[in-house]
Amino acid sequence: MQVLGPPQYIREASIRDPQIRYRWDDWNLDQYLDNPDDSLVVALEPLPHRANVAIALGMTEWLVHRFSSLDEDQVPWLIIEAAWAQSINRRYSEFIELNDEDWLGPMRRPVQLALENVQEILVACFDDEDTAEETASVSKLVLHVLPHLDAFLHWRAGVITRLTKFYVRQKDDPVGPVIPREALDLSVNFTPNMTDNLVTRFLAGLDPATNGWLNTVEVMKELRFNGVPYQWDAERDQDRFL
């Protein structure tokens, strides 16, 4: 099966720059994540945790595609695909950590940071901890490495506006409903009633034999997955908490 890749709206943004035009320090990584934009954090805080996970994943897709003319490694896209699955149910994949020695330098280390930050946001999502600031940190990292910002900022603002319209964090359900990847595509006239069909199609397209970051059906059963792995069940909604 085909590995997940960048959506068309990111391809059209022309961010595949072969030049590294920013400063980078592998030994001082906090500067690229800490103290994100306060106004962005405020905008993200009313959203359910799953909405912030979706936004963080979308931002990470921008970052990975930015380097695609320099690095053809498919591992980041495999991890992103597994993370989208985890946003539906954490049992679809384990917590993913990458070997620092394989991700050094101004191109590889930003990708590692973004991928690992998304893992942390997924944990926070299902543990009902803060997801807004961590998602804003991913945005800070993306802004640091992109060659130009207008397309990303337009997309970011549009996505936050769209998700804020459809999803509000509830005290009795802070995790919130599953957000399909297509909700981030502003060219799609998305509404939440499209979710079942979109998530059904996404899960049906996943293949643990192709993507080793995904858990097999056998592992899912060992983890007491409540349902049929890789088949969407809207009534169960794939578990809010673990």
Tell me the pLDDT tens digit for each residue of 117-133.
999 999 999 999 999 99
Count of Cβ atoms closer than 10 Å to residue 172 Cβ: 5
Residue 2 has a pLDDT of 58
Nearest to 114 by CA among 93, 88, 87, 83: 83
Residue 95 has a pLDDT of 93
Model confidence band, residue 237 (pLDDT cutoffs 50, 70, 90):
low
Are 96 and 82 in contact by the 8 Å Cβ rule? The answer is yes
- Our measurement of the distance from residue 166's CA atom to the centroid of its chain's CA atoms, rounded to an integer in Å, reads 19
Tell me the pLDDT tens digit for each residue of 96-115.
999 999 999 999 999 999 99
pLDDT at residue 238 greater than cutoff 70: no
Give the global pTM. Answer: 0.96
Burial class (CB in 10 A: 0-12, 13-18, 19+), 8: exposed
**DSSP secondary structure letter of residue 18:** S
**DSSP secondary structure letter of residue 153:** H
pLDDT at residue 226 greater than cutoff 60: yes
Residue 121 has a pLDDT of 98
Residue of 241 and 156 predicted with greater confidence: 156
Count of Cβ atoms closer than 10 Å to residue 185 Cβ: 19
Strand, helix or coil for residue 58: helix
In sequence order, the β-bridge partners of residue 214 are 93
Tell me the pLDDT tens digit for each residue of 156-180.
999 999 999 999 999 999 999 999 9
Q: Which pair of structure tokens corresponds to residue 55? A: 């936004």
Tell me the pLDDT tens digit for each residue of 81-91.
999 999 999 99
Strand, helix or coil for residue 230: coil
Nearest to 72 by CA among 18, 118, 116, 144: 18
Torsion 165-169-175-177 (CA) sign: negative
Rounded Cα distance, 120 and 100, in Å: 16
